[in-house]
Structure 1
Amino acid sequence: MYTPVLRVARPTDDIDALMHFYCDGLGFEKLSSFNDHNGFNGVMLGRSQAPYHFEFTHQIGHIVGKAPTQDHLLIFYVPDAASLKDIIQRMQHCGFSTVASYNPYWDEKGCCFEDPDGYRIVLQQAEWTL
């Protein structure tokens, strides 16, 4: 059966700040990038074997601003407590602090970080099950 690859794409005003957050902090890899493609710069971040990646783009001369709400989330399920602890420590070492989740449910078994654009990442200590 075919498993589709998911790309989450969104604009930003600061690609470099997002690279620090997602690569240095969360441990993603820079998969690809482009410069001045029809007035846009961009970068794709993720893990080479994962069925998802993120594309952040910046339109030259255009300002997009911050996230519209504190409840715009990307949630990563990390079942292993030691792995979750390592990620949190790496994020903190890179200068990122946890923030209280808008929905307190996410703070029960995990923690939340806010990226430079105001979008939030939840690191949830649980396995994804339906």
Structure 2
Amino acid sequence: MSPPTLRAARACAELEHIATQYREGLGLLELGRFVDHEGFDGVILGEPQGPWHLEFVHVRHEAPPPPPHPEQALVLYLPERQVWLDRVAAMERAGFVHVPSANPYWDRAGRSYVDCEGGRVILQQAAWPA
């Protein structure tokens, strides 16, 4: 049996802006898009055949969502130092802002960022301790 694919979905106010930021910052590809699907617009980002996707959704009939809580974060483990440094540079070029982590653990071997709508992304320069 193959493992499931995880898709993390998040509402956003500025769909194109946030999709561009994540494509450029994390180096993700656009896997899909939908427009006015029963009042929702969305962009799905990830790697083809990858085990996870990010979906950003703009709800046409609602006010913009509040920013996520600082402890709601995407964490990417990047064990190779140069890969991590390259991704840090890409995040900053894409407009992510480096911020202290809400949990100081993440600042010891990583770097926390906030996106254009207040969402957190942590780049951890370590391997996942499997």
Per the alignment, residue 84 of structure 2 pairs with 84
For structure 2, the 5+ residue unaligned runs are: none
- RMSD of aligned alpha carbons: 1.3
Distance 1:37 1:21 in 2: 23
Runs of 4+ displaced beyond 4 Å:
none
Give CA-to-partner distance per residue, 1:29-76, whole Å, 9 cap, x none. 110000011111011011113100011111113123332421111100
CA distance in 2, matches of 1:125, 1:68: 23
**Which ranges of structure 1 fall in alignment gaps of 5 or more residues?**
none
TM-score, normalising length from structure 1? 0.93
Deviates further, 103-112 or 46-55: 46-55
Aligned residues of 2:95 and 2:116 also touching (Cα < 8 A): no
The residue number in structure 1 matching 2:63 is 63
CA distance in 2 between partners of 1:93 and 1:114 (Å) = 13
**What residue in structure 2 maps to residue 101 of structure 1?**
101
Aligned to 2:20: 20
Partner of 2:45: 45
Give 1:79 shift: 0.3
Count of aligned positions: 130
Q: How does 1:2-21 map to 2 (within 5 A)?
A: 2-21=2-21
Could you tell me how far apart the structure 1 residues matched to 2:10 and 2:97 are? 23
Q: CA deviation at 1:4?
A: 0.6
**Within 2, Cα distance between the matches of 1:66 and 1:116?**
12
Residue 89 of structure 2 aligns to a residue whose secondary structure is helix
CA contact (8 A) 2:41 2:58 kept: yes
Question: 8 Å contact 1:65–1:117 — kept in the other structure?
Answer: no
Pick which of 4-13 and 58-67 moved more: 58-67
